[in-house]
Structure 1
Amino acid sequence: MNDFALIVELCPRLRRHLEDHARAGQTVRYRDLAHEAEVPGPHTIHKTTEALEAIARADHAADRPMLAALAVGRGNDGLPGPGFFQLLRELGRYDGPDSGEPARIAHAREVNAVVAAYQDG
């Protein structure tokens, strides 16, 4: 299976797990999400983040809260990796740095929108 086909296959699996975390009102580490969704190695985290980007783009295009905001890094003080903030900038949802207080505020805004949508619906 090529990388593109794998990402297409992973998106619904990751989405289901992210929706569970949204209903529970919690974030999840990349590694834990990859384990839950049984993302195959090697390069498990890379494959997971590629699929998360696809999910984020789909959510943005459909004007939905970005489920991918729930996935966070281990050493990032509870924030997603820099790629998340780069994508937010690309999509016009954020215009700040990849770390620090502005990133924390932007991330909290995205997480709160996801949790509200999934706990209401």
Structure 2
Amino acid sequence: MNELEARLAQLAALQQTITYGQLARDLAIPGPGAIARLTQALETLMEIDALAAHPLRAALCAGRLAQGLPAPGFFIKAAHLGYILGDNPEEFVLHHRQALWAAAKS
């Protein structure tokens, strides 16, 4: 998890996002189940972030076919954690990304 957290902190500092596939490659997560293992780690991180009332670091991930947004599982998990997604998922993600980028600057 530490490598994942460090990579996401680096992305926040650079104000960048990353696809799940690229993140799995960056972290050298092996095998055909790499994305599933990465997703589980990201969901655990979402739980930690929610408990600490921090922006969701998993918002920095983008699904390859999701037009720059995280995969649907991100939104399902966020709703399960009690977040109000509203009618505009882009705004929800942008809010978290901007908070992460701002926190990385300080």
- 8 Å contact kept, 1:65–1:117: no
Aligned to 2:92: 106
Deviation by residue 1:22-80 (Cα, 9 ceiling, x = unmatched) = 00011111011111111121211111111000011111111222111101111100000
Residue 30 of structure 2 corresponds to residue 50 of structure 1: no
How much does 1:94 deviate? 2.1
Normalized against structure 1, the TM-score is what?
0.82
Aligned to 1:116: 102
Aligned residues between the structures: 106
Residue 64 of structure 2 corresponds to residue 78 of structure 1: no
Aligned to 1:4: none
Greater C-alpha Rg = 1
Say what the alpha-carbon RMSD is for the aligned residues. Answer: 1.2
Runs of 4+ in structure 1 deviating by more than 4 angstroms, as ranges, are none
Deviation by residue 1:60-111 (Cα, 9 ceiling, x = unmatched) = 11122211110111110000011111111112222346xxxx1111111111
| Secondary structure of 2:95's aligned partner | helix
| Secondary structure of 1:22's aligned partner | helix
Which stretches in structure 2 are left out of the alignment for 5+ residues? none
Aligned to 1:15: 5
Normalized against structure 2, the TM-score is what?
0.93
- % identical aligned pairs: 35
**Larger displacement relative to structure 2 (86-95 or 64-73):** 86-95
